[in-house]
Structure 1
Amino acid sequence: MGKDRENKWQPGKGKPSGANKNQPDIPADLPTKHPNRNTNKRADHTTTGSTQNRNTNTGYNEIVTKTQVEELPGILTRDVFIELTGFDKPPCISLLMPTHKAGVEVNEQADMTAFKAALQKVEKMLNEKGIDQSSIKDMLQPGYDLLKNNTFWLSLNNGLAVYIADGFFKYVKLGNPVIQLIQVNSSFYVGPLVPYMVRGETFYLLDIAKKFPRFYRADGFGIERLQIDEMPFGVDDVVHFEEKDGDMLFRSGSGGKGGANFHGTGGGRPEENENIATYLQEVDDTLWETQLHGQNAPLLLAGQEFLIPIYRSVSKYKNIWPEALTGNHHQQNDNDIYEEAMKVMKPYFDQPLQYALEDYLNKLATALTSSMVDAIIPAAYYGKISHLFVKKGFQVFGTFNEQENKLAMQELEGNMNNADDLVDKAVIKTIQNGGEVYYLEADQMPNQSELAAIFRY
């Protein structure tokens, strides 16, 4: 209850005006509970205890969990990845599934239904492993809570990875679909997250136009428009066509406000291309002074075809990408221009992989490469691998004793209670030791293998 503008008390929002006045009569024979009773005490003291102080027969909807649900960023840092890989309090539940951003599947709650079925399957798997029912409910309750969160199900991407353990519940919304997978093991299954780790490849994009040029910084996951206050607004902002006494022409700040900037050339009216060149040189000077000085990331140019060679001729930046986005892009939003830019920049992002594949071929006849699983798995544990190539979907189950250097692989999944996905372990160990991992299609794999590696020594 609060006061209105006339200082009169008004009922709280969402309640009828008489809600606090006319309480329903309580039948005399209906037992009541003291309002100050300890609500954490059980009515039935014969049941076994649990961390949540609840009856073990209570359904999921009545459980109160203390586990904090956390969304991990869609672009994972190496530190976040290693934190996931280092979690060692089994049972560790990994749940991966394709999801939908829009369409009939969202309207019909297909992802929610699939997730509920996955939770039920996880519960069955935990029961088969002999986990007590109280612990199972504790671990899975945050997942059942998510089923009631409509905002969550309306904001998914193309894939979802969920990691669950005792007191641990974290998820990642993935940009690409993943193969459905449910695994209960001694550690999390994190290999599918590797393509979403932060990489070093970035590039710049300049959308040239006679008015209001736009400048961006982008990487393999997204694009950001950079606001540069010193940037000239257009040709007329730089090249003035009236005679002036001095050598420099004066341009006031944005809208005549703020500090003054000096741009342009002396008096006289040069030809149109010279005007454009003067303007683009001013754009280039501004970018050089504010953004590009000391940088070496590629600069992708976008704009009408006749503007591209003019900019190249006046720019002092040495790493302008050979191909350009030609056409008028000023009507496109940032995401649309980013999608086009990524098609042009694909060779740039493929370079690290191409260099690694070439290195593998150059060392193929030496002891510094291998496509033998029984050689690669131990090498990953001992930090020998600099580059690991994995065929998408390839798994090998078994165990590796690091102290005894003993590898045991299973022909089939069979009894997985004491087995690991050794390929996933090799991925984890390679990244933890500073190596690079590439998931490839079968026709991209070196030596037509399922697993291949370059060794450091």
Structure 2
Amino acid sequence: MAKNSGNNVRNETQWEELPGILTKDIFVELAGYEGDLCVSILMPTHKSGVEVNEQVDKSTFKNVVQQVEKKLAEKKKDPALTKSVLQPAYDLLTDEIFWRSLDNGLAVYIADGFFKYVKLAAPVIQLIHVNTSFYVSPLIPYMVRTEHFYLLDIAKKFPRFYRADGFGIERLQIEEMPFGVDDVVHFEEKDGDTLFRTGGKGGRGSANFHGIGGGKPEENENIAIYLQEVDNTIWQSHLNKENVPLLLAGQNFLIPIFKSVSRYKNIWPEALTGNHHQQSDNDLYEKAMKVIKPYFDQPLQNALKDYGNKLVTALTSSMIDTIIPATYYGKVSHLFVKKGLQAFGTFNKQDNKLVMQVQEGDLKQADDLIDKAVTKTIQNGGDVYFLDAEQMPNQSELAALFRY
């Protein structure tokens, strides 16, 4: 974190970078923050290329902050407060390292004594929001999810083992992992016969076997012995306490051999066939995510099915004026939102009074009620899904499944 100070206004607010994958606690903190002046800025940025060299993102951010300053002047905000709140944003423009180390998107949240930002892995639509709370629903795709899977890239030599989730992939270095067939199956002559000896790494013991017909065993037998050792290794290191998918990658003939010797019960039915050892981890991850997409879609499919089963009951609704109050009272377990949907107005929880309006600005302190509904659902332990229009249940713009 860097310490800021302006030329005209002294401001001790520190820049704080939040993790690119947000925990629910961090999200709830942002969503629950309230103040007289809360500024939310979202904008697409660049990781590399001519845009970085020409400082396009820096120029865009400067223009955005100037627009915020203009908005605050139109709202008749105290100029001294405006200057103090925005000074850290102007100071950020002097941090050359920051502007050369961005990702594909940026979210910045500013208030009096508060300045936090998130570098986002995917681009976002540029947005400026000035109100008494932050605009945080665009961050939901970047929240921690429990869904993850493992990937085993099988090869005769140097198998690769990974853990992956919706945000990326991590290669797991396991010291006991065998290097290849010859690391597990060894041959020796004894009394005129050829024997092969299996020797697991990490002190798991060994056994001697006579080769079939006095010769070396068939190649597939050797591979099976080797892959069984691979399976034992990843079982002991990771899989014995898991029940998530294991996606296999490798040449066609290796996949069924591994399946025949593996003790893991949740091997994904479809595999990445071919030789992938020349591919980078990121390329392998992109291919894996296409194959295993149904696994990540399952929570949504279950929620849509549940909504459909309860469609004719009081536990579902597609009426905005019913759903928004329900989110404030913790009634919503699943919220389905059409991408890009906005609805402005105010809701007074104490009076249970909802006031809708045609467009932003019709009311002095209007909120984006969709953003509020989303954040309230998350705060109260519900799930939110942003969907394309054709995916929305009941051809609605907003739909909810209620707890009661």
Q: Is the 8 A contact 1:264 1:278 kept in 2?
A: no
> Is 2:20 the counterpart of 1:89?
no
AA matched with 2:126: Q
AA matched with 2:277: H
> Is 2:266 the counterpart of 1:319?
yes
Give the structure with the larger helix fraction: 2
Q: Is the 8 A contact 1:385 1:455 kept in 2?
A: yes
Q: How does 1:128-167 map to 2 (within 5 A)?
A: 128-167=74-113
2:318 paired residue number: 371
Does 169-178 or 128-137 show the bigger shift? 128-137
What are the superposed Cα offsets for residues 302-360 of structure 1, whole Å, 9 maximum, x if unpaired?
11111001001111100000111111111222222111111111111111111111111
1:262 paired residue number: 205
Query: Secondary structure of the residue that 2:135 maps to in structure 1?
Result: coil
Q: Is the 8 A contact 1:249 1:262 kept in 2?
A: no
What are the superposed Cα offsets for residues 176-204 of structure 1, whole Å, 9 maximum, x if unpaired?
21111101101100000011111110000
> Is 2:336 the counterpart of 1:389?
yes
What are the superposed Cα offsets for residues 14-49 of structure 1, whole Å, 9 maximum, x if unpaired?
xxxxxxxxxxxxxxxxxxxxxxxxxxxxxxxxxxxx
> Is 2:141 the counterpart of 1:195?
yes
Partners of 2:161 and 2:7 in 1: CA distance: 51
Residue 215 of structure 1 is aligned with which of 161, 165, 178?
A: 161
1:116 paired residue number: 62
Count residues in correspondence. 394
Query: 1:105 deviation in Å?
Result: 2.3
2:369 paired residue number: 422
Partners of 2:203 and 2:266 in 1: CA distance: 31
Q: Which ranges in structure 2 are unaligned for 5 or more consecutive residues?
A: none
Query: Secondary structure of the residue that 2:205 maps to in structure 1?
Result: strand
In 2 relative to 1, CA 244–433 (structure 1 residues): closer, same or farther, beyond 3 Å? farther
Query: 1:261 deviation in Å?
Result: 5.0
1:434 paired residue number: 381
Partners of 1:333 and 1:264 in 2: CA distance: 37
Query: 1:169 deviation in Å?
Result: 0.5
Partners of 2:269 and 2:198 in 1: CA distance: 35
Query: Secondary structure of the residue that 1:186 maps to in structure 2?
Result: strand
Residue 332 of structure 1 is aligned with which of 279, 283, 305?
A: 279
1:341 paired residue number: 288
Q: Is the 8 A contact 1:263 1:282 kept in 2?
A: no
Query: Secondary structure of the residue that 2:152 maps to in structure 1?
Result: strand
Query: 1:264 deviation in Å?
Result: 5.9
C-alpha root-mean-square deviation of aligned residues, in Å? 2.0
Q: How does 1:65-76 map to 2 (within 5 A)?
A: 65-76=11-22
Partners of 2:327 and 2:222 in 1: CA distance: 60
Alignment TM-score, normalising by the size of structure 2 = 0.93
Partners of 2:254 and 2:384 in 1: CA distance: 40
Query: 1:291 deviation in Å?
Result: 1.1
2:172 paired residue number: 226
Partners of 1:156 and 1:166 in 2: CA distance: 25
In 2 relative to 1, CA 179–252 (structure 1 residues): closer, same or farther, beyond 3 Å? closer
1:451 paired residue number: 398
In 2 relative to 1, CA 177–73 (structure 1 residues): closer, same or farther, beyond 3 Å? same
Identity of aligned residues (%): 71
Partners of 2:128 and 2:171 in 1: CA distance: 39
Query: 1:263 deviation in Å?
Result: 4.5
Partners of 1:310 and 1:165 in 2: CA distance: 59
Partners of 1:249 and 1:416 in 2: CA distance: 80
Q: How does 1:45-56 map to 2 (within 5 A)?
A: none
Query: 1:134 deviation in Å?
Result: 2.0
Partners of 1:357 and 1:142 in 2: CA distance: 44
AA matched with 2:219: E
